Amino acid sequence: MSKFLNLNLIMILMLFGAFNFSEAQEVSGVVLDDSSQPLPGVSVIIKNSSTGTTTDFDGKYSLSANTGDILVFSYVGYDSQEIEVSGNVLNVTMQAGVALDEIVLLGNRAKPRTILDSPVPIDNIGVEELTSGGQPTIEAMLTFKVPSFNAQTQAISDATAHYDPADLRGLGPSRTLVLVNGKRKNQSAQVYLNRTPGKGEVGVDLKSIPTAAIERVEILRDGASAQYGSDAIAGVINMVLKKDAQFSTFSAKTGITSEGDGFNFATDFNTTLGFGDGGFINLTLGYYNQGLTNRAGTPGIADLPGDARPNEIAWAQNNPDLGMHVGQPDLEKGDVFVNMSHPVGENSEFYSFHGYTLRTGKSFAYYRAPYWRRDVADAGFITPPEDFQGYQPTFEARIKDHLNAVGLKMDLGNDWNADASITYGKNSVSYTVNNSVNRDYLALNGTSPRTFHPGGYSLSNVIGNLDFSALFSEMVSASFGFEYKVEYFDANEGDPLSYFGAGSDSFAGVKPNEAGEWDRNNFAAYAGLDFDVSEALLLGVAGRFESFSDVDDSNFSWKLFGRQKLGDKGALRASYSTGFRAPTLHQRHLTNSQFIIVASSPEPLKQGTLANDDPAVQALGVPSLTYETSKNFAAGITYKIDRNFSASLDFYNIKVEDRILFSSQIGYTNGAPGAPTNPVETILDNSNVVAVQVFINAGDTKTTGADFVLNYRNIDMGSGKLHANLAANFNKTTISAINTPAALAAEGYDIFARIEKGLITSARPKSKIILGLDYESEKVNIGLYNTLFGKVTITSPNGAANDQDLSSKMATDLSLSYNFTDKLSITGIVNNLFDVYPDVTLASTGTAQAGSRFVYSSEVQQLGQLGTNFSIGLNYKF
């Protein structure tokens, strides 16, 4: 791969080396804040150009610019400034203010725009704001900072417990595009198959992006497939990595819950090194370790069957939690991230960034109660039958993720710019099941391994991009480009005893006929045009053609947008777009078996997933997977009341057609294993499973909602200043149609039962309101953050009368920082100060409460089930 990247880079340099670049002068200066202190990290960009730099620790900057160029100075929390170059020295004083004047990368490739100028809503969140709430990972930080973003740890859900499905606007993980430095991030190798939000979908492994490497996060809250391609139906998240920071940072943090579990420790280091003549290398090293938590219920002897044996009764009496572990898994990970840049000639830039993350984790399956596994007990394999106490399999994952990009940005002269790049990314997961038994092998041989290696999965892609932008005049700007992507998906065979018979208990191995390698490619071409009709009115259009080799048809998505400024303080904005999402290779080719809880049985039963192109699935009339398509309308207003006070309100309506669903369990109706009564049951018999599930384009959904943001900064309070932020999201998703293939409908099968529908319509909060208060002074900083999660609903398989609404819950986080010097600080944080938990799940719901083993639902999510967490951290700059 490295040879491939190097060869392409040489070709790019040769191709563009012949361009003549205009001469420029070196412009330098110092940027100060409104207290006359140096301000590091300020973005300095030549207006209408991608050329720019950032200020160092002393507030100094230097870049090449021509006389008459306009330099735009912007920084989170300060008013931006535009100043014309008239000499070699240009000093600037920034004034603190709200965040509408910051330059953002998302939403427009041709002409850099501020949040106020943008025709679509964009959040720009700096790393200090992200980390202020004390959450341990980037997906948790965004959950408590962005109202429309949600992610929570999933308890007892096999590999899903190690990924935390995340989404925007409740549309599922598959419909949010994630970029790093503007380049597409590869998706994870794992499909979320368990009964959790995002079931049947594939997201990006956000845990693989260390916060210490991030400068800021930009979130475009609008459909953007016409600009960025597949998956951008709900929006786009762009992780912007740190650049030429002229100081190093070291931080360490540790914490524990009020229950005395979940101990965690994190440390990271970030620094910038010189690279050649005028280049930089930003390096991040990170380590994180978290312990498991347990919030299991205590059903005790109430769970015993009527014919309980003496050893089973004694076990239940001595272990009222029945051996369960319900909570976050053990996790350990290490990160290495590198972001580098070097000038080429006077007006071009070579750039490259690389990230590698390795993490291991251990979660727990259901405890195999002794009365569930009497066959194992009677074999006398683990203990004598009269002493048998069951066993609890562990599910252990080893996850590797790496991202590599290399490219060249070029000023082609006459206000034309180009960006040529190649990106390679890969995510892989391998499994180990410990403390388990292969019951079929045991029955035949009187013994069984206790440790199994069930195989794993990997997903990788190679993406080539060639992007152009042009500024034809102050009124007209355009961008266009091309993308070619190749994807690879591997299913790796497990060891033979992991799939012998029914396989290892809790997670059966990948069989030889389930293993394989698959690939595809796609080509895309896009174009966009912005027309600044006047200084106040902006109109624009964008379109993108995309063709995937494994989908019969191509797709063309388009977008219209406009913005009307309200003086120099506000703007009205609106957009209408079509979008699409291509089925993933996982969804097309995955075949596997796993143990799950079904409503009719308290213990796990084996079910299977058959690939979409399996002849048996095709025989049932399930069509070949194709694109999801969407229609997205959005409109809003943003207004900067004064330099410290701003507000925005945006409405959206998103319709998704042919949504890819992971079907309900299609099992026996009148027959039984070995005695099928219809064609569907015959398939189950032939596959040796009690139920199957398939991926199918079968759903039409509609999501409506609103986002509200209110910022008030720099309120004088004693010797310091208070900043207040109020943000909210309100949303509702409905399912307008489920299209069942005729062969299944004829046998009376419901391919998407109401409990599956509930994971789409009511498993995420229908509202979230965040109130943040930050007090800053020279020595002391105090943060108080309240997050109100709206109600969610547990959808019962036994009808609406047994549904349960879980009431709204508020989590309160308190942080206190003390600055010993301007470089050394210590921070204490209490998350979920008042120890708030979700409502207790009622047994009457008939969901996977598993005989009261779960106190809180594992199927719907609000604020999680961690309780209060205490942490303390140290941060040092040098």
Q: pLDDT (tens digit, 9 = 90+) per residue, 419-445?
A: 999 999 999 999 999 999 999 999 999
HEC string of 307-353 equals CCCHHHHHHHHHCCCCCCCCCCCEEEEEEEEEEEEEEECCCEEEEEE
Q: What is the pLDDT of residues 582-597, one digit of tens each?
A: 999 999 999 987 665 5
Is the alpha carbon torsion for 21, 27, 32, 33 positive or negative?
A: negative
Give the tens place of pLDDT for each residue, 329-375. Answer: 999 999 999 999 999 988 899 999 999 999 999 999 999 999 999 99
Q: Which whole number is the average pLDDT over 652-663? A: 96
pLDDT beyond 70 at 604: no
pLDDT above 60 (res 9): no
What is the C-alpha separation between 632 and 374, in angstroms, rounded? 55
Query: Of 130-139, 355-364, 536-545, 812-821, which gets the smallest average pLDDT?
Result: 130-139
Q: How confident is the model at residue 1 (pLDDT cuts 50, 70, 90)?
A: very low
Mean pLDDT of 760-777: 95
C-beta separation of 627 from 659 below 8 A: no
- pLDDT for the residue 601: 55
Q: How high is the pLDDT of residue 597?
A: 54
Q: Cα 740 to the chain's mean position, in Å?
A: 30
Q: What angle do CA 140, 324, 869 make, to 5 degrees?
A: 35
- Residues of the chain above pLDDT 70, percent: 93
Contact 45, 103 (CB under 8 A): yes
- Read off φ and ψ for residue 588, nearest 5 degrees: -80, -35
CB 230 within 8 A of CB 626: no
Max Cα–Cα distance, the chain, nearest Å: 92
Task: Report which of residues 869 and 76 the model is more confident about.
Answer: 869
CA distance 74 to 117: 14
pLDDT tens-digit readout, 447-504: 999 999 999 999 999 999 999 999 998 899 999 999 999 999 999 999 999 999 889 9
What is d(CA 222, CA 629) in angstroms, rounded to the nearest whole number? 15
Give me the mean pLDDT over the 55-83 stretch: 83
- The larger pLDDT score, comparing residue 108 to residue 165, is at 165
| Mean pLDDT score, 765-793 | 95
Mean pLDDT of the chain: 89
Query: What are 616-654's pLDDT values in tens digits?
Result: 788 788 999 999 999 999 999 999 888 888 999 999 999
Tell whether the model's pLDDT for residue 2 goes beyond 80: no
Res. 8: pLDDT tops 70: no
How confident is the model at residue 10, as a pLDDT? Answer: 38
Residue 602 is predicted with a pLDDT of: 57
Total length of the chain: 878
Q: Give the model confidence (pLDDT) of 723-741 as tens digits.
A: 999 999 999 999 999 999 9
User: Residue 536 above 70 pLDDT?
Assistant: yes
List, in order of start, the domains of the chain with CATH numbers. 1-95 (2.60.40.1120), 97-877 (2.40.170.20)
* 287-318 pLDDT per residue, tens: 999 999 999 999 999 999 999 999 999 999 99
Per-residue pLDDT band at 692 (split at 50, 70, 90): confident
Average pLDDT over residues 505-520: 93
How far from the centroid of its chain's Cα atoms is residue 434's Cα?
Answer: 29
- Mean pLDDT, residues 544-561: 96
Summarize pLDDT for 16-68 with one digit per residue, the tens: 343 333 456 889 999 998 777 788 778 888 887 657 788 876 788 988 888 88
The whole-number pLDDT of residue 684 equals 75
Query: Measured between alpha carbons, how far is 199 from 192 in angstroms, rounded to an integer?
Result: 5
